[in-house]
Amino acid sequence: MEIPDKDNPYPIEGNKKICFLKNIVANPMISVGGYTYYDDEYGACNFEKNVLYHYEIIGDRLIIGKFCMIASAVKFIMNGAVHRMEGAITYPFNLFGSDWIRATPTLTLDQLPYKGNTIIGNDVWIGRNITVMPRVKIGDDAIVAVNSTVTKDVEPYVIIGGNPAKLIRYHFSSEVIWKLLVW
C-alpha cells in the first residue's frame, strides 16, 4: 500500500494551497500531528498569520491532533487577547509607555487572565472562516460548521455551528460514540 509522505509539505503535486501543516509551522508553541492538512487559496504559508495574540511571554500553546482538516480563514485567538476585567477600565494603558506607565499599576504575568492551551483533537474538521477562542478544547472527530465562533469546549463526535457555536447534531449514535470512546 502506498500512502502519502507525511513529511512532504505539499502532498498534492503542483498544489501549494494544501499542505501537511506540521511541515510548515515554525512556531515552537504550535504543535501539529501527522497528516493534518491546511487548505488556503492564498497559500498554505498563511496558517501562522491566523494564530492571533500568541505571545511567547504568555506561554500558551496551540495543540492540533492528527488527521485534522483545517480550511482557510480559520482564526485561533490566543491568551494574549484576554484583558483584565477587575478594574474600572480594561484598556492596557501601561502597554503603550510614556506617562501612562507611571499612571497605571504595573502588572506581572501572573496577574493577567490566563485561560490555558487551545487543543484540537484528532480527525477534527474545521470549516472555513471559523474563530476559535482561547483555551477551547475540540474533541476527536468533531466537525465545526462554516462561519462559526467556538467559545467553549466541544465534545468528541459532534457537529457544531453558529455564533456562538452550538450543537447541531451528533456525528454517530450514542452507542457508536461510546464504542469509539472506549476503543
CATH code (residue 60): 2.160.10.10
- Has residue 168 got a pLDDT over 80? yes
CB-neighbour burial class of residue 94 (10 A; exposed 0-12, middle 13-18, buried 19+): middle
- Has residue 109 got a pLDDT over 60? no
Q: Is residue 156 part of a domain?
A: yes
Q: Is residue 71 part of a domain?
A: yes
Residue 4 half-sphere exposure toward CB, CA atoms < 13 A: 15
Q: Is residue 134 part of a domain?
A: yes
Residue 42 is part of which domain span? 18-80+116-182
pTM of the model: 0.88
| Residues 156/140, Cβ–Cβ less than 8 Å | yes
Model pLDDT, residue 14: 87
* Four-CA torsion 36, 40, 41, 46, nearest 10 degrees: -130
Q: Is residue 148 part of a domain?
A: yes
Model pLDDT, residue 43: 84
- Has residue 92 got a pLDDT over 80? no
Q: Is residue 7 part of a domain?
A: no
- Has residue 104 got a pLDDT over 70? no
Q: How confident is the model over 43-49, as a mean pLDDT?
A: 89
Mean pLDDT of the chain: 89
Number of structural domains the chain divides into: 1
Q: How far is CA 55 from CA 30, 48, 52, 62, 157, in A?
A: 12, 12, 9, 12, 31
pLDDT class for 94, splitting at 50, 70, 90? low
54 in active site: no
Q: Is residue 145 part of a domain?
A: yes
| Residues 137/154, Cβ–Cβ less than 8 Å | yes
Q: Is residue 104 part of a domain?
A: no
Q: Is residue 12 part of a domain?
A: no
The residue annotated as part of the active site, out of 16, 41, 56, 83, is 83
